[in-house]
Chain A
Amino acid sequence: MDLATFPWLTTIILFPLVAAAAIPLIPDPKGQGRPIRWYSLVIGLIDFALIVYTFSTQYDLSSSELQLVEVYNWIPQLGLQWSLGADGLSMPLILLTGFVTTLAILAAWPVTLKPRLFYFLVLAMYGGQIAVFAVQDMLVFFLVWELELLPVYLLLAIWGGYKRQYAATKFILYTAGSSLFILVAALAMAFYGDTITFDMRALGLKEFSLSFELLVYGGLLIAYAVKLPIVPLHTWLPDAHGEATAPVHMLLAGILLKMGGYALIRMNAEMLPQAHALFAPALVILGVVNIIYAALTSFAQRNLKRKIAYSSISHMGFVLIGIASFTDLGLSGAVLQMVSHGLIGASLFFLVGATYDRTHTLILEEMGGVGQKMPKIFAMFTACSMASLALPGMSGFVAELMVFVGFATSDAYSLAFRIIVVFLAAVGVILTPIYLLSMLREIFYGAENKDLTSHEALIDAEPREVFIIACLLVPIIGIGLYPKIITQIYDAKTAQLTLRMRGAVPSLAQAPVPMGSSPAGMTTHFYQAPQL
């Protein structure tokens, strides 16, 4: 077997899918799903190990090119190709998917309702989501994008909370409706010009007219705005996240939202640079609206899950600003924010689930004073909240700082615009600690709810839960202390992408990339002389 030509990505994608198909055959004498759980965990670990092995041995970090390329003709009559590849944009997200999904399987230990179906769906999502980040054919991208509809729908509708069916239906209609734009855009771009192709690289090389680019960009923006989400198309998210059970929640927040951000960079910014140059200010404004609106809304939520859900929306605003910054540092920060939020969001949602398992309520008024009985959960919750509110030394801080500095030093916008945006986004950053800290206070300190604190179900975290949070906190703090560990794996790609994006803005095309914009230097530079 030749290691260099082995179809690694296909194997990584198909392995969980094939393994999922074998789940009905596993004997489960007690009906509690114990063997199935272990089976899924092992599959998750093997696949994650495969991902790590592939990227550590077969992937060249210094190249901005698409690597591990595989192209097979699938349906030549349609020009449909099973073409995969990974570059700096997809690789961190594939790693994140493997990591978070495996932890989500471990987090799903208490799930005993219909275990076969549950683990089948989780494994199916595993493969499907990696495929979203690896696929290089636009029609296949649409296919794998839609593939995740049904598993998420069922995971929400069967294992969710009280209003789960409403939330699940809302999710599927929003997502299915918005993904039409992807198909329409794919068809429009493929048939543009003389050649019919769905290959993303070939589409990126096509010369589209400006009005065509604007139309396609707008359509794709709607599709990805639902996913990311961008206000005002976010309304499915608080419902879906408010009803999902903890492991599903980890997947939703950890990976699904990243699909929107990834696609926005991969398609809107990379393939339609002319339109991106015109749309960028709108993206910045939407990003600011996201940050402030969602932070304020989160502040008012009395339901714990909805509160964290809105905080996710708020954090995604930084991704938008980073994408639209036209600087290396900003874009790098956007990718880092996605990875970082994937870890932080997953950990917070897992802890919310762990708390809910004990208190059986999500309403903040009904909690209070449980910190005494659950010191470990309290400590972990505090640590993850600190990560979420961007405490220096944690990944959220680095990512947001990079976006801030990247945007502030951007030469694409006027000084006044930059000042206003940075100011408003900073207001959002201040709002985050307010609602997160007050949330912590209400759950763990505050007026003690005697019924709750005296309840025998209120036990502290078990080793499995501590392990999951530890796994998530290690990279969070690791990235926070030494961001280069993650930025170096995609630097080459974001630098090349920034050049392409800048090339489409007439005023920037000839200008040099602004000072301090080399992320490798910059990210370490912060820590030598903290300047902000």
Chain B
Amino acid sequence: MDVANLASQLNAGAILPEGAVILTLMVVLIGELALGRASAARWTPYVAIAGLLLSVGLLCLQWDLTPTLSFLGSFNADKLSIVLRSIIALSTLVTILMSIRYVEQAGSSIGEFMTILLSATVGGMFLCGAEELTMIFVSLETLSIASYLLTGYMKRDPRSNEAALKYLLIGAASSAVFLYGLSLLYGLSGGETHLSAIANALAQGTNHLGLLIALVFVIAGISFKIAAVPFHQWTPDVYEGAPTPVVAFLSVGSKAAGFALAIRLLTQAFPAVVEQWQFIFTALAILSMVLGNVVAIAQTSMKRMLAYSSIGQAGFVMIGFVIGTEAGYASMIFYLLIYLFMNLGAFTCIILFALRTGTDQISEYAGLYQKDPLLTLALSLCLLSLGGIPPLAGFFGKIYLFWAGWQAGAYGLVILGLVTSVISIYYYIRVVKMMVVKEPQEMSDVVLNYPAINWTPLGMRPLQVGLFVTLIATSIAGILSNPLFTLVNNAVVEVPHLQTANAAKTPMAILPTTTPELPAPLVSNSDSTAL
């Protein structure tokens, strides 16, 4: 095989968006080394933001291309991966917007921070399209190791160190288990590493038990990434100790990558045991929804509360995953997209509050409405959206998940999801109550001494931009969600293995694109005789 032939087979254009991120990463790193920390800090964040925007732009350009396998089948740039890669790139983008001021105030270097964050992004983006075992593992580890580093980024803060150590130990263990699962797959399939080839090889094999063990190990690794109960134990401590922007990235970007991995690996490599993995994920979804939402009620720290809430939210997303219909996958991606904005919006708000007051205790938010109406409004809307109150985006996300769940006949899961989302309203609204309802005399001390609102220091403007973008998206992405629905449906429709995974199971997995039949005239007022 000559070089030219090989180059054409690599089809390297598919990873242009990742290339843009890697290039940005290099520029940031070298810029800081060459110009020194202080002077580079003035422009590197904007380079990173521009790079990520470029990457998202390139992803948009790829939307209409026919998906082709690149790198000899290791990387699949289909529409599903494009949407998920965009979610990860966007989450990094918003994370950078909110972290500039945070890192600056902590006295650390923003350049290094962004370098690691961008590495994690590259890992996550590659993971979304990876179709080969080595590729999957390498990109997963890129994401994970960068996440450990980010968690411990506040070097002088003992809680950050503790969080990083806990995350590293549990993460390493789960990576090992995951890798063991992959090695079993490799062995069972007779030395195949491509997911589709594995599926073909396993379809003929009879070693059911071995396959099940591999499945359990792989699911353990994935569940660690998406923090599904009972693989969630690291979450509260890591979320509490890690720098808040990192938590924001972990709860959105890293989770989206985990779900991307789950969709690709489980639907493609394990079609033989669909019922088994759907059963396991049903159990995980039930446990996550119940435990995440119930334990969140008892939290006093905002970050811990959001940690448990994100476990519960992952439980809702899993409903879309386990039902295995096209609408299910579409609703899952739709929810991730909505969740990106509302959760990052909430994190932007708590970063802003922490920057101004230095605390993240829920009780310290008392009476904030009097001092900072904008922050109160933004945080309230994001939390209420997470709770699923209409007409915010989260409501539509949940409706779609429950709609798809009901369509597929998962009545129990849907009802449990509804009940737990009512529970979640209770703890989200507790924060809103704290901020809005408290009288001036009930104000907490930190709110009483709230500093004058000042957007001029370095890094505050990007924070403001991030706040407005997430706030606007959370408020109107639900009401005007029609284009988003079209987007996620298109993303799912053209992925063949999602159809094969569910074709055997659910005969009614059709998209109801037909508008409901109505008793004739629909034209307004045509049947009334105007007086």
Contacts and interface: CB of A to CB of B under 8 A. Distances in A.
Nearest to B508: A191
A146 B422 contact: no
Interface stretch (A148-156, A243-251, A264-272, A314-322): A148-156
Contacts of A177: 419, 422
A60 B399 contact: no
Interface stretch (B144-152, B338-346, B425-433): B425-433
A150 B517 contact: no
Interface string B407-431: 1000000110011001001100100
B217 interface: no
Given A157-B436, A202-B517, 12 more contacts: A58-B530, A69-B526, A71-B522, A75-B485, A76-B482, A144-B390, A173-B425, A176-B425, A177-B419, A184-B418, A187-B402, A202-B516
21 contacts: A58-B530, A60-B528, A60-B530, A67-B528, A69-B523, A69-B527, A75-B396, A79-B516, A117-B369, A117-B436, A143-B395, A150-B384, A153-B429, A157-B433, A158-B437, A180-B418, A180-B419, A183-B402, A187-B406, A196-B407, A202-B519
Nearest to A198: B516
A129 B330 CA distance: 32
Nearest to B370: A114
A370 interface: no
Interface string B317-335: 0000000000100100000
Contact of A58 (B425, B489, B528): B528
A57 B516 contact: no
A75 B433 CA distance: 32
Contact of A139 (B384, B399, B522): B399
Given A74-B482, A76-B515, A77-B486, A187 B403 contact: yes
Interface of A: 3-5, 7, 56-60, 63, 65-71, 73-79, 81, 114, 117, 139, 143-144, 146-147, 149-150, 153-154, 157-158, 165, 168-169, 172-173, 176-177, 180, 183-184, 187-188, 191, 195-199, 201-202, 205
Contact of B525 (A69, A117, A201): A69
Interface in B184-205: none
B66 interface: no
B454 interface: no
B391 interface: yes
Given A158-B437, A172-B425, A184-B415, A78 B400 contact: yes
B530 A57 contact: yes
A162 to B, nearest CB: 12
Given A60-B531, A139-B399, A202-B519, A187 B525 contact: no
Contacts of B369: 114, 117
A205 B519 contact: yes
Contacts of B429: 153, 169, 172
Contact of B513 (A76, A117, A180): A76
B123 to A, nearest CB: 32
B107 interface: no
Nearest to B433: A157
Contacts, number: 146
Interface residues of B, number: 50
- 8 residue pairs, one from A and one from B, having the closest CB atoms: A197-B516, A67-B528, A187-B406, A77-B485, A180-B418, A157-B437, A143-B390, A196-B512
Contacts of B390: 143-144, 146-147
B418 A183 contact: yes
B515 A79 contact: yes
A248 to B, nearest CB: 14
Nearest to A146: B390
A89 to B, nearest CB: 15
Nearest to A74: B482
Contacts of A169: 426, 429, 433
Nearest to B415: A184
Nearest to A17: B391
Contact of B422 (A73, A74, A154, A180): A180
A150 B418 contact: no
A147 B527 contact: no
Given A146-B390, A188-B406, A191-B407, A67 B527 contact: yes
B414 A77 contact: no
A420 to B, nearest CB: 38
B295 interface: no
B206 interface: no
B499 interface: no
A59 B531 contact: yes
A153 B433 CA distance: 9
Interface string B502-519: 000000000111011111
Nearest to B327: A77
B530 A7 contact: no
A89 B485 CA distance: 34
Contacts of B389: 146, 149-150
B28 to A, nearest CB: 39
A192 to B, nearest CB: 11
A188 B330 CA distance: 21
B211 to A, nearest CB: 34
Given A158-B436, A198-B516, A60 B529 contact: yes
A21 to B, nearest CB: 10
A70 B522 CA distance: 7
A37 to B, nearest CB: 19
Nearest to B400: A78
Contacts of A153: 429
A69 B515 contact: no
A77 B436 contact: no
A78 B530 contact: no
Given A3-B530, A4-B530, A75-B485, A154 B436 contact: yes
A58 B525 contact: yes
A189 B224 CA distance: 38
Contact of B511 (A77, A139, A154, A168): A77
B422 to A, nearest CB: 5
